[in-house]
Amino acid sequence: MYTNKTILITGGTDGIGRSLVLQYLDLGANVVTCGRDQQKILALEAEAPIGKLCVLNADVSSERDCERSVSHAVKLFGGIDVLINNAGIAHIGNVLNTSEEDFQKIFQVNVKGAFNCMQAVIPFMEEMGQGLIINMASIAATIGIRDRFAYSMSKGAILSMTLSVAKDFIKKGIRCNCISPARVHTPFVDGFLDKHYPGKQQEMFEKLSASQPIGRMAEPEEVAQLAYYLCSKQASFITGTDVPIDGGFTRLNN
């Protein structure tokens, strides 16, 4: 299905993004991704089939970097069939203890990063007469989560942008959806626990896992599988939709 298809995935060297990259490589796709950590870039390249992966050192908050990444992908593989806006950063704090600097940083990466990539990619998809865009949102976009003010703001923007792009380009053959995970067990979670709960990592991990009705966190591969479905022909009737993958968190937490 994905042989000779080109997938552009932002933030593909870690966590959910890494699972996405490896999944599409296994499916035979050409994958272009970006990252900033050279060790993680090298580790990802070591797992990829020769000639199927291009990893760029790019910052999604930079309009120029996004345009360069898209142009490189088109030149290298002939086009972009799927864009997955996965790059993002987290922040802990409420409206009072979130600094202007932190608020701006979250906005630049999570919101402007997705904007930059969609603005750069959509003209090529219009030219092809088809395209798929998946934006990584969060359950924080639609429900209140304590001490996630700036992060929730950014994911709410992702949801709104998804709806707008889906409506504006549906006649151009472009589908746009977003995925809203609850907690996913990524290196970020482990790093957060190491930093804030030294000596109590396992206890806090179990507590965070139990906060989801299903009793555990999602695995990155499960989110990647949902993205795979949304990109498939079986999902060709789905656009302008926010799809939760949350272990019952949104509806079953009473």
Respond yes or no: is residue 151 known to be catalytic: yes
Q: CA–CA separation, 27 vs 10, rounded Å? A: 18
Structure confidence by residue, pLDDT tens digits, 138-162: 999 999 899 999 999 999 999 999 9
The single residue of 2, 24, 151, 228 carrying the catalytic annotation is: 151
Percent pLDDT > 70 in the chain is 99
Q: Strand 82-85: give its sheet, edge to edge.
A: 53-57, 30-35, 6-9, 82-85, 131-136, 174-181, 242-245
DSSP state of 67: H
The domain spans of the chain are 6-182+220-248, 184-217
pTM > 0.85:
yes
Does the domain at residues 6-182+220-248 carry the CATH identifier 2.60.40.420? no
Would you place residue 254 in the very low, low, confident or very high pLDDT band (cuts 50, 70, 90)?
low
Structure confidence by residue, pLDDT tens digits, 92-121: 999 999 999 999 999 999 999 999 999 999
pLDDT, average across residues 68-76: 94
pLDDT in the model for residue 96: 98
- Residue 4: partners with Cβ closer than 8 Å, 6 or more residues away: 28, 30
